[in-house]
Structure 1
Amino acid sequence: MKKRFLEIGKIVTTHGIAGEVRVQAWCDTNDFLTEFDVLYFDQGKTKLEIERARTHKNVVILKIKGIDDMNTAQTLRNRILYVDRNDIELPEGTYFIQDLVGCKVIDFNCPEKEYGILTEVSQTGANDVYHVKGEDGKTVLIPAIPDVIQKTDVDAGMIEITPLKGLFDDED
């Protein structure tokens, strides 16, 4: 089941004396985090209204409504920020990593052939790399490129692939 509230970053320290906080973003870009008017604490239980947000060097600076001084902002250090999945519209063919983890990876041309379970996604810059753990306990790294990934259905928990030659031991 997909989680409604997704981790999007962590407050790492304060910024200035007016109650702003510095956030380490856990998303593809810092700018993505600046697009939200509402974020959450406590896995969605506490709603936060964002007065303003901007990217500054390698962090995001947030001004949260009701946090107006450095001492109050200091109490928020190390808190995890969440975003409501319903507030995000992903482009076609993109997925949240947490939705991919746990998916069964099967052969596109032979659906009864299962390669394993996707356990992790590495973001390399050029393309993502899927870590697929087989029944034998070995992990195989699969490039998430159109030639390999044929179909992704996170609702069904399936990723269909056409593996590159030599990717698996039993390949010709």
Structure 2
Amino acid sequence: MTRLSPSAAKKNAAKDRVTIGKVGAAHGIHGEMRIIPLTDFTERFADMKEVMVGDELLHIESCKYHKQFILLKFREYPVREDAMRLTGRLLTVDRSEAVPLEEGEFYTFDIIGLTVYDETGNTLGTVENVLRTGSNDVYQARRPDGRELLIPALKAVVKVIDVAGGRMVVDLPEETDDAH
């Protein structure tokens, strides 16, 4: 098993790594672990040979799909008792291994941290979370004065998302802008 040094692990925890799952409970007696997928691209697990689990690079021996879980068996953890120590850890891949998105689509981790501006350049806040509501996502931002700002992820509202520039430009309805 390969471990990253604490400083390397901290560096990789930033935007260099993409979280794709979380280790759940053990499954069966042969060391398989239930993986809770934290990605829209669950098919990616079938072709993976290795993955970072916490700060360890682990080699995947087998992958099965079971209900809403992915069952992974890691070469470094051949028995259930050892594998159970992985419970709760996050599975990550290098950002270069992220599934390419279509034009105008963004990963949640790219949206979080963007500074939100209105169309005249006034700072409205910083995106802290992306809420999935079913009909459309909602960007949850924190205003400079600490109040919450909810921004519907609609083309009519969100005019620009510039991940490289760290900014989002919005045209909020007046009642939303003055709320709270």
Q: 1:95 is matched by which residue type in structure 2?
A: F
1:27 deviates by 2.4
Q: Give yes or no for contact 2:41–2:99 (8 Å, CA) kept in 1.
A: no
1:20 deviates by 0.8
* Structure 2 counterpart SS, 1:166: helix
1:35 deviates by 5.2
Unaligned segments of structure 1, at least 5 residues? none
Q: Give yes or no for contact 2:18–2:98 (8 Å, CA) kept in 1.
A: no
Tell me what 1:76 maps to: 86
Cα separation, 2, equivalents of 1:79 and 1:117: 28
Tell me what 1:151 maps to: 160
* Structure 1 counterpart SS, 2:177: coil
Confirm whether residue 63 of structure 1 aligns to residue 107 of structure 2. Answer: no
- Residue by residue, what CA displacement relative to the aligned partner does 1:43-80 show, whole Å, maximum 9, x if unpaired? 4xx22222332332222211223432222222322222
The aligned runs of 1:1-172 (5 Å cut-off) are: 3-28=15-40, 30-34=42-46, 36-43=48-55, 46-91=56-101, 92-108=103-119, 110=120, 112-169=121-178
CA gap 1:106/1:87 in 2 versus in 1, 3 angstroms: same
Q: 2:77 is matched by which residue type in structure 1?
A: I
Q: How many residues align?
A: 166
Q: 2:48 is matched by which residue type in structure 1?
A: F
Q: Give yes or no for contact 2:52–2:91 (8 Å, CA) kept in 1.
A: yes
TM-score, L = length of structure 2: 0.79
Q: Give yes or no for contact 1:7–1:81 (8 Å, CA) kept in 2.
A: yes
Aligned-residue RMSD, C-alpha = 2.3
Percent of pairs with identical residues: 30
1:114 deviates by 2.0
CA gap 1:146/1:36 in 2 versus in 1, 3 angstroms: farther
Q: Give yes or no for contact 1:10–1:23 (8 Å, CA) kept in 2.
A: yes
Cα separation, 2, equivalents of 1:131 and 1:35: 34
CA gap 1:34/1:123 in 2 versus in 1, 3 angstroms: farther
1:165 deviates by 4.2
- Residue by residue, what CA displacement relative to the aligned partner does 1:126-160 show, whole Å, maximum 9, x if unpaired? 21101122122211211111221121111111011
* Structure 2 counterpart SS, 1:98: helix
TM-score, L = length of structure 1: 0.82
1:29 deviates by 5.5
